[in-house]
Structure 1
């Protein structure tokens, strides 16, 4: 079994052939967590999870969507998060690259969602782009030592990753690690213990080499697994075994 801890199967890129994609995942023994970006997206992912037994979900509001969060979003999220196949609050966090939502609004919505996760004793799946210091500050104040934390699609420095590692924070790695310009991420993966690593695709985005430019899906995890095994000097089976166990431990996947 292989676990893709971060994909977006509610994305319109899968509108025409989701059933076929799901069949390929099941055939290859892949379980995926479909991550949400809004209240509406969370509802859509719940419907997808009801249809496919190998799909779990996380519910949450992405920083891009923070400005449009309903006034009562905490209540909505709290109820949605109770769905039996929801395994986390996510993806939540900060994105200062695009600043689609004002930074103060992003921070406020991020903190409120962490509080929901704490009330339900759920892990959080964190998006952090060009906002690593503020992300860490919020995590230190509200989350570290209280609930499990996964930084998805890690894009920070080696130095930042050392701080995360000391706090027992998980990171997930996807297709970017196969890119030619991935020197920084390769250094991070080399140092980061397998006990704190997970696999992701961020489907339909960030398709690994040699399929860059095509729509991504969880079957392309094999390229990520091969690259991580190469970087860390271990077998692909060990990468699969450790990352799958991590996903089971954090998200309660069986």
Structure 2
């Protein structure tokens, strides 16, 4: 038997929500994912491009959105295709290639084609690039964010001490710094909040054994709170094991809201406003 189809409209919260970190270019059907997200009430998506891998987002994004709109029209749906903002950088896995790509990244940043730099940072779990090379690339891209006035989206895995030290040394960009896909405890969250960072929670927050992550989600100030899918990875419960997609971000909202003791609509409104402000999208205040 195949997977049961998802009723995307049933995922909606009655108010728009934002997916602050997706990888549309990694999905088999980006246009379909955008249409699904529309049904689920997702109004804004930040999609992340690794310049060392697939750059097709820059050429194909508008075609994906147009096809999504056509699919919605074909079924008589009134839902609007989500607004999409592009983030670009070089992932720490590929830090060995970063130096050769930073001129391109700087040009994208200066041209306005991207709204943030990322995901950049440190990954000591896989060590696909040597750690000293990762640290050097992280420092250079942080410096670029300061120079261009853009926020950064930071990936840290088994490297939070070094990441904190780097952000303390170079400085958190005035435009913002998001610790994405947060999987740590309250104490770690508070260290990054003290630096002025934002914290973004993904599908891990919904996992049965993720009590420490939910505890962290409960204490992050509402003005520093974001949610994301990191799709196609880390699908939330009860969809764990499936390909993740932006529509499922509403499940993260529900769990974060429960951890905070508030209604999901309150979290949805807050994270949408925060993402719109960070990524300079419609609805920013």
Residue in structure 2 matched with residue 199 of structure 1 by the alignment: 227
Structure 2 unaligned residues grouped into runs of 5+: 1-15, 66-81
How many Å separate the matches in 1 of 2:61 and 2:106?
18
Instruction: Tell me how far 1:140 sits from its aligned partner.
Output: 0.9
- Give the corresponding residue for 1:5: 20
| Among 49, 54, 62, the residue aligned to 1:36 | 49
Return the alpha-carbon distance in structure 2 between the equivalents of residues 145 and 216 of structure 1.
30
Pairing 1:136–2:164 present: yes
What is the CA deviation profile of residues 138-191 of structure 1, one whole-angstrom value per residue up to 9, with x for unaligned ones?
111113263410000012332121121222210110111110110110111111
1:173-210 per-position Cα deviation (integer Å, ceiling 9, x unaligned): 01111101101101111111221110100000000011
1:19 aligns with 2:31: yes
Alpha carbons of 1:106 and 1:48: their partners in 2 closer, same or farther (altered >3 Å)? same
The answer on whether the counterparts of 1:190 and 1:232 sit within 8 Å (CA) in structure 2 is yes
Confirm or deny: 8 A CA contact 1:114 1:142 kept in the other structure.
yes
| DSSP-derived class of the 1:34 partner | strand
Distance 2:47 2:257 in 1: 25
1:188 alignment partner, one of 216, 229, 243: 216
Instruction: Give CA deviations for 1:104-160 in whole Å, capped at 9, x if unaligned.
Output: 000111111111111110000000000001101111111326341000001233212
CA contact (8 A) 2:51 2:89 kept: yes
Tell me if structure 2 keeps the 8 A contact 1:124–1:150.
yes
User: 2:93 — aligned with what?
Assistant: 64
Q: Are 2:260 and 1:232 aligned?
A: yes
8 Å contact kept, 1:48–1:55: no
* SS of residue matched to 1:81: helix
Normalised by the size of structure 1, how large is the TM-score? 0.92
Instruction: Please give the root-mean-square deviation of Cα atoms over the aligned residues, in Å.
Output: 1.6
Larger radius of gyration: 2
Corresponding residue pairs, total: 249
Deviation sequence 1:191-243 (CA, Å, 0-9, x none): 11221110100000000011111000011112111111111011111101111
Unaligned runs of 5+ in 1: none
Q: Secondary structure at the match of 2:121?
A: strand
Structure 2 length-normalised TM: 0.83
CA contact (8 A) 2:121 2:155 kept: yes
- Equivalent-residue separation in structure 2 for 1:108 and 1:145 (angstroms): 17
Distance 1:62 1:241, change over 3 A: same
**What is the DSSP-based 3-state SS (H/G/I as helix, E as strand, rest coil) of the residue aligned with 2:47?**
strand
Taking the TM superposition and a 5 Å limit, the aligned residue runs for 1:70-81 are 71-81=99-109
